[in-house]
Amino acid sequence: MNRRHAGMIIGGILFLVVAMGISRFALTPILPFMRQDVGLSVETAGMLASANYVGYFIGALWAGFITRHPKGILGWCAFINVLSVFGMGLLDSLWIWLILRLIAGITGGLMFVLTSSMLMDYLAGHLLTKWSGYIFSGIGLGIALSGIFVPILESAFSWQGAWIGLGMLSVLFVLTTMLLWRKLTAHEQDKKAVVSEKVWKGFMPWMALAYGLEGLGYIVTGTFLVDIIHEIPNLREYASYSWVVVGIGAIPSAPLWIMLMSKYSPVRIISIAYILQVIGILLPIVSPTIFGVMTSAFLFGMTFVGIVTMTTSYARQLFPAKSASVVSALTTLYALGQIIGPLIAGKLAAYYKSYNVALIFAGSVVAIALCLMLFGRWRTTEKEVPESYMALKNIAK
pLDDT for 119-128, tens place per residue?
877 777 776 7
For 329, other C-beta atoms within 10 Å of its C-beta total 23
* Predicted structure pTM score: 0.78
Q: Which domains does the chain have, with CATH numbers?
A: 3-396 (1.20.1250.20)
* 81-103 pLDDT tens trace: 999 999 999 998 889 999 999 99
Residue 42's closest CA among 293, 337, 348, 365?
348
Contacts of residue 76, Cβ cutoff 8 Å, sequence gap at least 6 = none
Q: Is the pLDDT of residue 382 over 60?
A: no
The lowest-confidence range among 78-87, 288-297, 334-343 is: 334-343
Query: What's residue 397's pLDDT?
Result: 44
Q: Is the pLDDT of residue 250 over 90?
A: no
* 362-381 pLDDT tens trace: 999 999 999 998 888 887 75
Percent of the chain with pLDDT over 70: 87
Q: Is the pLDDT of residue 299 over 90?
A: yes
Contact 258, 132 (CB under 8 A): yes
What is d(CA 293, CA 290) in angstroms, rounded to the nearest whole number?
5
Angle CA 43–62–219, to nearest 5: 30
